[in-house]
Amino acid sequence: MSFSLSGKVAIITGANQGLGLEISRKYVNAGASIVICARNGDLLTRAQKELIIGLAPGQVVEMATTDVSDSQGVGQLVKATLQRFSRIDILVNNAGIYGPMGPIEEVDWAQWIRAIEINLLGSILMCRAVLPTMKGQQKGKIIQLSGGGATNPMPNVSAYAVSKAAIVRFSETLAEEMRDFNVDVNAIAPGPLNSRMLDEVLAAGPEKVGQAFFDKSIKQKESGGASFHQGAELAVFLASDASNGITGKLISALWDDWEQWPKHLDELRASDAYTLRRIAGRDRGISWGDK
What are the tens digits of pLDDT across the range 58-88? 999 999 999 999 999 999 999 999 999 999 9
Angle (CA) 95-16-220 rounded to 5° is 70
Alpha helices in 30-157 (DSSP H): 41-51, 71-85, 109-116, 122-137
* Within a domain: 270: yes
The model's pTM: 0.94
260 shares its domain with 160: yes
The Cα-based distances of 209 to 109, 153, 166, 193, 202 in angstroms read 16, 13, 21, 17, 9
* Within a domain: 203: yes
* Within a domain: 26: yes
- Could you give the CA distance from residue 160 to residue 115 in angstroms, rounded to a whole number? 7
Q: How far is CA 42 from the centre of its chain?
A: 22
Q: State the CATH number of the domain containing residue 70.
A: 3.40.50.720
Type and span of the H or E element at 268: helix 265-269
233 shares its domain with 112: yes
So what's the pLDDT on residue 210?
81
So what's the pLDDT on residue 198?
76
**Considering the chain, what percentage of its residues have pLDDT values greater than 90?**
80
> What residue type is assigned to position 284 of the chain?
R
115 shares its domain with 221: no
45 shares its domain with 123: yes
175 shares its domain with 103: yes
Among 141, 173, 188, smallest CA distance to 11 is for: 141
User: CB count, 10 Å around CB of 217?
Assistant: 22
* Within a domain: 267: yes
Backbone angles phi, psi at 274, to 5 degrees: 65, 35
pLDDT at 40 over 70: yes
71 shares its domain with 33: yes
* Within a domain: 1: no
143 shares its domain with 174: yes
Domain count, the chain: 2
So what's the pLDDT on residue 192?
72
Measured torsion, CA atoms of residues 42, 97, 78, 90, in degrees rounded to the nearest 10: 110
* Within a domain: 283: no
* Within a domain: 109: yes
* Within a domain: 61: yes
Strands 61-65 and 33-38: parallel
Label residue 199 by pLDDT band (50, 70, 90). confident
So what's the pLDDT on residue 57?
93
Type and span of the H or E element at 213: helix 211-223
Query: What are the residues whose beta carbons fall under 8 Å from the beta carbon of 25, sequence distance 6 or more?
Result: 50, 51, 232
27 shares its domain with 159: yes
So what's the pLDDT on residue 54?
86
> What are 112-133's pLDDT values in tens digits?
999 999 999 999 999 999 999 9
> What are 80-103's pLDDT values in tens digits?
999 999 999 999 999 999 999 999
Catalytic center residues: 146, 160, 164
200 shares its domain with 184: no
110 shares its domain with 202: no
So what's the pLDDT on residue 1?
63
Q: How far is CA 286 from the centre of its chain?
A: 35
The stretch 225-244 carries a mean pLDDT of 93
Among 130, 17, 141, 125, smallest CA distance to 73 is for: 125
53 shares its domain with 111: yes
Residues β-bridged to residue 226: 193
Domain membership of residue 254 as a residue range? 9-191+227-274
The more confidently predicted of residues 163 and 218 is 163
So what's the pLDDT on residue 71?
97
112 shares its domain with 205: no
End-to-end CA distance of the chain: give it in Å, rounded: 47
